[in-house]
Amino acid sequence: MDGPFPDHGPFSERGPFSERGPFSDHGPFPDHGPFSEQNPGGRGSASGSGPGSPVRLWGIGHVVAGMVFGMVASVVAAGIVFAVGDYGVDDAIPLSVVAILQAALWTGLLGVPLWLVVARGVRWADLGWGATARDAWQGLFIGIATQVAVVPVIYIPLLLMTDDLDVSGPARDLVDKASGGGILLLFLAVVVGAPIVEELFFRGLTLRALEARMRPRIALVVSALVFGAVHPQL
């Protein structure tokens, strides 16, 4: 048909207003697209793939970048602090210096998630931020049970191999350094800062990046191994 409404015109079966045109259900705003009702999170959501699933906005590359950036920042900060403070390798490091080095590490571990939220539109909830009262009580119970029952079992083989294993040594040394304002600094760094930053990075960013590439249980094991590799202290 060659009239005002031909077979290939704007109102034809293949035109822009047809069933498969750019303004149809299969166009840039389809029923199952990133702006559809089945994806209320828009570009800021970050779950798996498939029809109606939001797009993952980060991957393993972001995890590696966060760890490398944090470690490099820590090394640079340590070099500056040791040079300015004239500390030796065997000198006792003040708690304030420990806090500075910890904050340098957080520039990567917290910096990458923060960049994703600000620049990529990722929601904090996508990174695991948020909890209920039930989560708090369950977490408290699991933490205490693990500390009392599981941790001693894990250390039994190590205790059989060595007689001078001091598990509480690093923590005790850290507490011994705290006095006056250092107690508040220790509380903010160990009780508040470290759990929040590491939860966002390891359980939020790392675990969910791995889940996009492997089965959830395997991803959980791999993320635990990554966490353990970053915390080699016994």
Q: What is the CA radius of gyration of the chain?
A: 26
Distance separating alpha carbons of residues 215 and 2, to the nearest angstrom: 56
Rounded percentage of the chain residues whose pLDDT exceeds 70? 65
Structure tokens at 45: 């959501």
- Name which of 194, 59, 204 is nearest 131 in CA terms: 204
Q: Confidence class of residue 151 from pLDDT cuts 50, 70 and 90? A: confident
CB proximity list for 174: less than 8 A, separation 6 or greater? 95, 98, 186, 190
Q: Confidence class of residue 49 from pLDDT cuts 50, 70 and 90? A: very low
Q: How far are the Cα atoms of 4, 16, 24, 67, 73 from residue 21, in angstroms, in the given order? A: 18, 4, 5, 45, 51
Between 38 and 197, where is the model more confident? 197
| Mean pLDDT of all residues belonging to the chain | 74
Between 159 and 80, where is the model more confident? 80
pLDDT at 206: 93
User: Residues 87-115: pLDDT tens digits?
Assistant: 776 777 777 777 888 889 999 999 999 99
pLDDT at 95: 74
Distance separating alpha carbons of residues 201 and 116, to the nearest angstrom: 12
Per-residue pLDDT averaged across 180-197, rounded? 80
Residue 27: is its pLDDT beyond 90? no
Distance separating alpha carbons of residues 14 and 7, to the nearest angstrom: 8
The one-letter code for the residue type at 126 is D
- The residue ranges of every structural domain in the chain are 56-133+150-230
Structure tokens at 137: 């009580």
pLDDT at 31: 40
User: Residues 203-233: pLDDT tens digits?
Assistant: 899 999 999 999 999 999 999 899 888 876 6
Q: Using an 8 Å Cβ cutoff, are 124 and 211 in contact?
A: no
Helices (H), the chain: 60-85, 95-109, 111-120, 133-145, 151-161, 169-177, 181-186, 194-198, 207-211, 216-230
**Is the pTM of the predicted complex or chain greater than 0.75?**
no
